[in-house]
Structure 1
Amino acid sequence: MRVKVLGIQGNELRLAVDDDFNLDKVIRFSDGKQPSGELTIDDNRHISRDQQKKIFALIDDLCNYTGDEPKRWENEFKWRVQVTFGLDEFSLSNCSMTVGNYMILTILDFLFAENIPFRTKLWDSLPQDFPRQRLALKNRTCVICGRPHADLAHYKAVGMGRNRHKIDERKMYFMTLCREHHQEQHNIGIKEFMQKYHLKPLRLSDDDIIRFKILTKKRLEELKNA
């Protein structure tokens, strides 16, 4: 169970739990004795309980779809993270928060690529940071809700009195939005939209522009030689 520390007075803590708390049930499990437990504070250095829950929930969704054993995919994704990020072997019980994020993003990347469904709330709970933006762009999923087949959206609208064929995408900022969120962006205006969803679009390197299929190599060379 996840808790948040709301206040401290002397040696007493005031906590809020993330699920309904049934004190009578806890006392019953404690054989009528005063319930006790341990509190571990995430220090932003070691993997958090929240990250661990997301990792294993994603693996469970994958295994529910494939019928495989969770341990098989846990080891597979650990290996992928090691190879991709040049890491030594690690344990999900005590690795860093950074490695925990690598695991989450690696699993999500695979699920998107293989079109394997997972619980949308997991995508909703990821921070609106640089890795999530890149993941959405790479797989053309909505950066807000995770829906597939998203539109490629520009921070400055293309097509509003501008010639698409003369635009240099190397100077543009990008994000991916489903039709519903793309329409909302046009309805309320880009600045209000960005503030509402705490988004920051990405400016991509030449390699990423090709990798994410925004431009062809030929078109990129034309822009460079213009």
Structure 2
Amino acid sequence: MGVTFFDNRLISAKQQAKIYALLDEITFHTANEEIDLRNKRYGIEFKQEREHIKMALKSSFCDYINIKPFSLANLNQTTAKEFINYILEFCFRFDIPFHDKWTNLTEDITYFLYLCIKYRKCSITGQSGEVHHIDAIGQGRDRKTYDHTQSRLICLSREMHNKAHQVGWETFKRLYHLDGIYLNPAQVKECHLQ
């Protein structure tokens, strides 16, 4: 028998800001030419387009986790975090570029780094990336038989990957305020590392 806790904390202002920042990114990317992008956040057409996107994402999220439709105003913090992660993965899946600093778009840095690995996007630049093993595999070892759960991983562009090797991981980590993450076996499989 499991115990379920109900989160009665209402969505925070920071969480609402992150949701709208992500919705803005999607709207910027998908807006048709009729929307005056010079007035992105203030134009009525932009706000209407963003509202349509918000409604579609809320509906698909409710179906995905099997909950009733909700209003952002009365959403609890746990579900708000899940919704932020859902929108974030939508952005990764459909290659939506981030104009805002990514730390303004997520609450869960580990999940963000996981998505970078899964979708092969550099955690720093957002460019196409490759998986960097912080805890070295070693020369002559077969990456296909290596247990990737035993190594911290991060996705880096070729340029950042080279820089990490040139300056060393500790220096690189201090420069960019990022560290690798460990994946569980299911995540390793989902990220096509084995």
TM-score, shorter chain, exceeding 0.5: yes
User: Alignment length, in residue pairs?
Assistant: 169
Higher strand share: 1
Residue 94 of structure 1 corresponds to: 74
C-alpha offsets along residues 95-125 of structure 1, whole Å, 9 cap, x if unaligned? 123322222222221122212333142x133
Q: What is the CA distance between 1:74 and its match in structure 2? A: 0.9
Task: Decide which of 105, 113, 117 is 2:85's aligned counterpart.
Answer: 105
Question: For the residues of structure 2 that align with 1:50 and 1:168, how far apart are their CA atoms?
Answer: 38
What's the TM-score once normalised by structure 1's chain length?
0.63
Unaligned 5+ segments in structure 2 are: 1-7, 33-48
User: Secondary structure at 2:51's aligned position in 1?
Assistant: helix
Instruction: Find the partner of 1:201 among 173, 180, 187.
Output: 180
Q: Distance in 1 between matches of 2:28 and 2:112?
A: 24
Give the Cα separation in 2 of the matches to 1:128 and 1:58: 14
5+ residue gaps, structure 1, are 1-43, 216-226
Relative contact order: is structure 1 or structure 2 higher (C-alpha 8 Å, sep ≥ 6)? 2
Structure 2 distance, partners of 1:57, 1:163, is 43
Query: Which residue in 1 is equivalent to 2:4?
Result: none
User: Which residues in structure 2 correspond to 1:105-124 (within 5 Å)?
Assistant: 105-121=85-101, 123-124=102-103
* CA offset digits 1:155-205 (Å, max 9, x no partner): 2123x4342356333433321112233223212222333355443423223
State the TM-score, normalized to the length of structure 2.
0.71
Q: Structure 1 pair 86/203, CA: closer, same or farther in 2 (3 Å)?
A: farther
How far apart are residue 63 of structure 1 and its match? 2.5
**Paired AA for residue 29 in structure 2:** Y
Pair 1:181-2:156 in alignment: no
* Bigger radius of gyration among the two: 1
Q: Does 1:161 align with 2:125?
A: no
Indicate conservation of the 8 Å contact 1:128/1:199, yes or no.
Answer: no
Q: 1:151 to 1:51 in 2, by over 3 A?
A: same
Q: 2:22 aligns with which of 47, 58, 81?
A: 58
The residue type equivalent to 1:163 in the other structure is R
Superposed CA RMSD: 2.7
Which letter does structure 2 place at the counterpart of 1:150?
Answer: G
> After superposition, where does 1:39-54 map in structure 2 within 5 Å?
45-54=9-18
Deviation string, structure 1 residues 123-170 (Cα, Å, up to 9, x no partner): 13335632212221221112234x131110112123x43423563334
Q: Does 1:73 align with 2:50?
A: no
Secondary structure, aligned partner of 2:69: coil
